[in-house]
Structure 1
Amino acid sequence: MREGLEDTAEAVRFDRVTKRYGEHTVLDGLDLAVGRGERVTLIGPSGSGKTTILRLLMTLERVTEGAIHVAGEPYSHMPAGQGGGGRAGKLVPASERYLASRRRGIGMVFQHFNLFPHMSVLENVVEAPVHVLRESRDAAEVRARELLGMVGLADKVDARPTRLSGGQQQRVAIARALAMRPEILLLDEVTSALDPELVAEVLDVLRDVARATDITLLCVTHEMGFARDVSDRILMFDQGRIVESGRADELLDDPGHDRTRAFLRAVR
């Protein structure tokens, strides 16, 4: 954990969050706090609830029970009065309008790049800042060129995504997420759709992002070397619960739980 991190405000708090799909419980009473500027990696087998955490923060899913707070403010819920009535001080499930206003500070890089194929690389990065953040196109383009330079694609600004390798497309997706100036960046198995020889270039870019910014990172990955390099803390998930939590080097080198040891043997 970096110096001073324990004194920073919380970026995210999950308070007894449960997520169910019918009879199936994906997250089971999750309590989790992530400090502002902290880098936390979630590991564990498929179906253990890791990606669901990211999807809840992106408001792609709604909590079944419990609540999420971001920067100390309600996120999954809102004060009843903001919904048009209700008892003062009571929290109710957040409306779409409320969620839209709160999630602008959260960016996500998905497994698949989801770039607009009819737009150039530069246009892909500029589009959201102009239309969502209402930045001027000139300012958005300056920022986009800086970010594309940071991810090693300054010479590809006019290219279409279909002319790029998978690794290059994922680097564009990283620049696009950063262009929205998020306080929290979510990474969901960002190398899983790449050919093995392209994985290193994307992970190197993310290491640079981690070194060069104070952004809060919440990352799901099976790349243990990357997790070791960027994480202040690693959480091991199984069946919707945290079974072990610790500093990256401690958990990876000397896990205390049988389930963690079995998982690490399987992915190394």
Structure 2
Amino acid sequence: MKLPSLEGDMFMTAAYAPSNRATCKGCYAKINKEELRLSNIVDEDHYHQEHHFHADCFQLKPAFKNATYKDIFHVENLSKADQEKVKAILEKLQKSEFKKKPQQKKQIQNQNKVNQKKIIDEDYKNTKKQSKKVEKKEKKLETIKKKSESSQNESDDEESDVFVLYDKAQKEEFRKIQKELEKKSAGQLKQMLKANDQKQTGNKGELIERIADCMIKGCLEKCPNFSGGRPKFNPIQKIFKCPGYMDDTEFRFCNKVFGPKDLKRIPWIDV
């Protein structure tokens, strides 16, 4: 039940419980009738309410750490013995609750510093781990980049070998044809080679290169020495050499060497 605020600076009441209906806020047990009861006054919006305690369970509010015995409301109505008891409780609480506070506060501050240091150390470790991961990833990407550049250089070198018998105009024409043939599927490219009686094995890049060469220079005839063999070009020696061919179950070796002008070139047929 809320009542109008009491005047003065009284913060605690000391009295004998008028009934056994009140519950101790410390141990949550009932306070017996006529038992010594200490109460905290809590002011809220011009009203007050009392939190009741057994004398031994009483909890002093920090705001009243400098309170004196005279600040206790109704204490004069107690017996002399109970007045001394209340006085002793107040002094004991002030010593135990507040004189140790600075030390406890310092301990808490020290603990907070330790915890903060742990957090900083943990963050540093995580950052270091993350940095190592990033560094490792960057190294990996750099390695891939170098491999890619190396592969590109090798590809460029290989391309120059293919063009060893080409002049500048033929090289430009080759690149144009190459770009157009990229749009076709491997199956379509093989059909084009088949229609011109040319080798149809290899990856798409090799098929395109073979077709482009045939379109510019003409299709290579089969080996004049062994009609089943297909001469292969050696860009370093600038010669064609026929390895031979498979005749049913037996491979017939040829190894005949031809110069670039020794072999006939048959015009390419568009399909």
Question: TM-score by structure 1 length?
Answer: 0.22
Richer in strand (by share): 1
Richer in helix (by share): 2
Question: TM-score by structure 2 length?
Answer: 0.22
Structure with the greater alpha carbon radius of gyration: 2
- Higher-RCO chain (CA-CA 8 Å, sequence separation at least 6): 1
